[in-house]
Structure 1
Amino acid sequence: MDSLTANGEKFTITISGGDLDNYYDEYNNYTDTSDTCCSTGEVCSLEEGMSFDAVFLPVFYSLTLVLGLLGNGLVLLVLVQRRRGWSVTDTFILHLCVADILLVLTLPFWAAQATGEWSFGTPLCKITGAIFTINFYCGIFLLACISLDRYLSVVHAVQMYSRRKPWMVQASCLSVWLLSILLSIPDWHFLESVRDTRRDKQECVHNYPSLSQSGFDWRLASRLLYHMVGFLLPSAVLLFCYSCILLRLQRGSQGLQKQRAVRVILALVLVFFLCWTPYNITLMVDTLYSNSTLVDTCESRKALDISLTATSSLGYLHCSLNPVLYAFVGVKFRHHLLDMLRSLGCKLKSGVRLQTASRRSSMWSESGDTSHTSAIY
């Protein structure tokens, strides 16, 4: 005679001694039905998704780590050398670089989990997982702050941040960091290093309590918080601000200087959406499957697992793309970077290109904020 409890209900089962091993196998399958089986009752194999992760993630994360550290490191060097000429936007970009560098430093841990298992314990699991969330929130909140500053400056000719009050910019950045940390509380609480019986390895995952245990769907609540506060609301702010800015610029009421400043920031916003929108859409679909809103099959589950891996990796890639945008879109950034390389003893092959860059930079000596000198545009 033995008993088991599953989904809040207790069952008593009579088992002969020879069938004891089979009983425990059936018990494990039953209690893990939400993860192991689809809503159709079919048992799904995880080999395909695991093989994809083991091959794709280490290569992708290694490339992103190198590009992210190199690119953001160069941006920080340029900003530090030109710190006397920082604009409001440059301050926000500095914080973006810091957040991106922190994120790429976590990639070796996720690559190790993909090739083997999580062997770093629960504390490091919480830290690395929370950094991913904090970086996402910081990225879109800082872009929202920049868009509001540009909107007021271009559309209403109002300076959101005054040179007389430089502390306001730092206060805004500090508020963004604090809010991002606050919104990552679900990760700090629920992320754990646990043994995944399906994959037969230790993994760093969200270990939410079941609805019958807590009386509240924490998984759904954290997902809704992430979708609404972290993506949909800031996205609406960005779309509104830049729609108004573009309409104003089309009327020809602004000079070339403000148009160039808006062009750089608009490129940052577009790349942010290209990198993070697929992941958010995929996560929304996963949320619908988790709540049984959509019929879950083995084929859809396998495709969704691979999609989550690919789209979250695209979000990681965003960390290394911003410096590329500065180099290709920001004229002054290119000039300052060449200046810095020349000061370090690097020989430039084409003096004509350097002179051309200098003339263009002197023409574009100020950012869209006409009261502030820009360091990298």
Structure 2
Amino acid sequence: MGNCYTLDSNIHKNISFSDLINLTQSLPNASEYYDNDYYTWDYWNYTDFSSPCYSNFCPFLSRAGPPFLATASALALLSNLAAGVALAMYPRVWGDPPRRALACQLTLSTAIFAALLPFFTVGISQGWVFGIKFCQLAYMLWHSSLFAQGLLVANSTASTLWDKQGPWSSGVATALWLVALFLAIPAAMLSEVLGNTHRSCVLKTNNLSPLSVAHVTICLAIFILLPVMLGLAKVALKWCWSSWAPRVSLAWVFFLLWTPYTVALLLDFLQNTQLLMPTCAFREGLNFFLGVSQGLGVLHCCLGPLLLLGAGLCQRV
């Protein structure tokens, strides 16, 4: 989570502290980016030593990350289990078949996402011990479940354009999941396992490579542009007194939870590709914003099933 990576001891042995002082003093505005008390920095920049800014987010993540993810994982397990049992035992509570199909698919996407949380919890607290292949698979499943949920919610919002049974046929549902899986390929290819003693499974978007640009663009399109376009369509059609308008439901909480992280991801991408030239204070704030907003997004796997369950119970009453 976030933008944090600490150098291993073997790298410290190969680079002396005096070498870092000489190197940073030779950089432009080195006094602005350097602090004599620290020689750790954001992992995106450790290879070129361009901005050795100390980040308070890294120790904060090591303390708060594992308990937060463990708690979120346990709550997500319980909420998804409750929603799954309710869908299996009382399917008619959720209305017609299209609505039930949507509820089942949303629960499936949150369950896949929640199932990966224990691995990232262990990775932050004890180091990534599951190998590079599983790191890539984990990020692929992580993002494909997110993209699938975004596409499902957007499709449900616009479903009144077509026949009610049409959008939720098995063919369209399968197509949405396949598209989500395809869109998650850049995330899988960008994931790496870094470090020696305390290895970390990270997603590197710190360059202008086609994969990085594609991943950031996909996140922007699904988490920001797609809901904005549907919202504008709803406003415009209501303004024109049209009988049709996109349906906004509780499932839109998903977009609300992941929009801040997408904004932070864009800012982080711009600063790491040096399209922004921020100060250390900006980097520090962005690191916290990126990590906290990602934690906020993680809560969707807990809140989503509970909202579905609550909506079903309210309709039953």
TM bracket (short chain): 0.7 to 0.9
Code of the aligned partner of 1:306: F
Partner residue in 1 for 2:254: 272
Matching residue within 200, 204, 224 for 2:201: 204
Q: In the alignment, which residue of structure 1 is the partner of 2:59?
A: 51
**After superposition, what is the alpha-carbon deviation per residue over 1:23-81, rounded to whole angstroms, capped at 9, x for unaligned?**
89959x89x99613999x552224x2221112222222122112212112222222222
Aligned with 1:187: secondary structure?
A: helix
> Is contact 2:109-2:148 (8 Å) kept?
yes
Give the superposition deviation at 1:246.
6.3
Instruction: Decide which of 297, 300, 303 is 1:321's aligned counterpart.
Output: 303
Same amino acid, percent of matched pairs: 22
Alignment counterpart, residue 65 of structure 1, candidates 73, 84, 90: 73
- Separation in 1, partners of 2:235, 2:126: 47
Residue 53 of structure 2 aligns to a residue whose secondary structure is: coil
Query: Conserved in 2, the CA contact under 8 Å of 1:65 and 1:107?
Result: yes
Q: Is the alpha carbon distance of 1:34 and 1:133 closer, same or farther for their aligned partners in structure 2, counting shifts above 3 Å?
A: closer
Give unpaired runs (5+ residues) of structure 2: 1-12, 25-41
- Partner residue of 2:226? 234
Name the SS of the counterpart of 2:158 in structure 1: helix
Query: What aligned pairs does 1:1-377 form with structure 2 within 5 A after superposition?
Result: 35-36=45-46, 42-46=51-55, 48-83=56-91, 86-150=96-160, 152=161, 159-161=163-165, 169-195=169-195, 201-206=198-203, 216-228=209-221, 230-243=222-235, 265-269=248-252, 271-328=253-310, 330=311, 332-334=312-314, 357=317
CA offsets per residue over residues 217-253 of structure 1, 9 Å max, x none? 532333223323x2344223431454367669x99x8
- One-letter amino acid matched to 2:53: C
1: distance between equivalents of 2:15 and 2:122?
A: 34
2:206–2:272 CA contact under 8 A, matched in 1 = no
- Distance in 2 between residues matched to 1:183 and 1:73, nearest whole Å: 28
SS in 1 for 2:195: strand
Structure 1 partner of 2:30:
none
- Shift of the 42–191 alpha-carbon distance from structure 1 to 2, 3 Å rule, reads closer
Bigger Cα Rg: 1
Change (3 A) 1:87 1:238: farther
Q: For the Cα contact (< 8 Å) 2:109–2:145, is it kept in 1?
A: yes
Q: Could you say if the C-alpha distance between residues 220 and 25 of structure 1 is closer, same or farther in structure 2, counting changes exceeding 3 Å?
A: farther
Which amino acid in structure 2 is aligned with residue 179 of structure 1? V
1:189 Cα shift?
2.0
Shift of 1:21: 5.8
Query: Could you say what secondary structure the match of 1:231 adopts?
Result: helix
Contact 1:192 1:205 in 2 (8 A): yes
Instruction: Tell me how far apart the structure 1 counterparts of residues 90 and 236 of structure 2 sit (CA, whole Å).
Output: 31
State the Cα deviation string for residues 255-300 of structure 1 (Å, max 9, x = none). xxx9xxx5xx52221x123201110111111111122222133222
* CA 1:145–1:21: 2 relative to 1, 3 Å: closer
Change (3 A) 1:207 1:24: farther
Q: Secondary structure at the match of 2:193?
A: strand
1:127 and 1:21 mapped to 2: Cα distance? Answer: 33
- The answer as to whether partners of 2:135 and 2:191 remain within 8 angstroms in 1 is yes
SS across alignment from 2:313 = helix
1:136 CA displacement: 1.5
TM-score of the aligned structures, taking structure 1 as reference length = 0.65
Change (3 A) 1:65 1:79: same
How far has the Cα of 1:89 moved from its partner? 1.9
Q: TM-score, normalised on structure 2?
A: 0.76
SS at match of 1:43: coil
Secondary structure of 1:278 counterpart: helix
Unaligned stretches of 5+ in structure 1? 1-19, 153-157, 337-356, 358-377
Q: Which whole-Å CA distance do the structure 2 matches of 1:292 and 1:207 have between them?
A: 15
Q: How many residues align?
A: 284
Distance, in Å, in 2 between the alignment partners of 1:247 and 1:324 is 33
Q: Which moved more, 1:289-298 or 1:218-227?
A: 218-227
Task: For 1:293 and 1:87, locate their aligned partners in 2 and report how far apart those are by CA, in whole Å.
Answer: 48
Specify whether residues 69 and 238 from structure 1 end up closer, same or farther in structure 2 by C-alpha distance, changes over 3 A only: farther
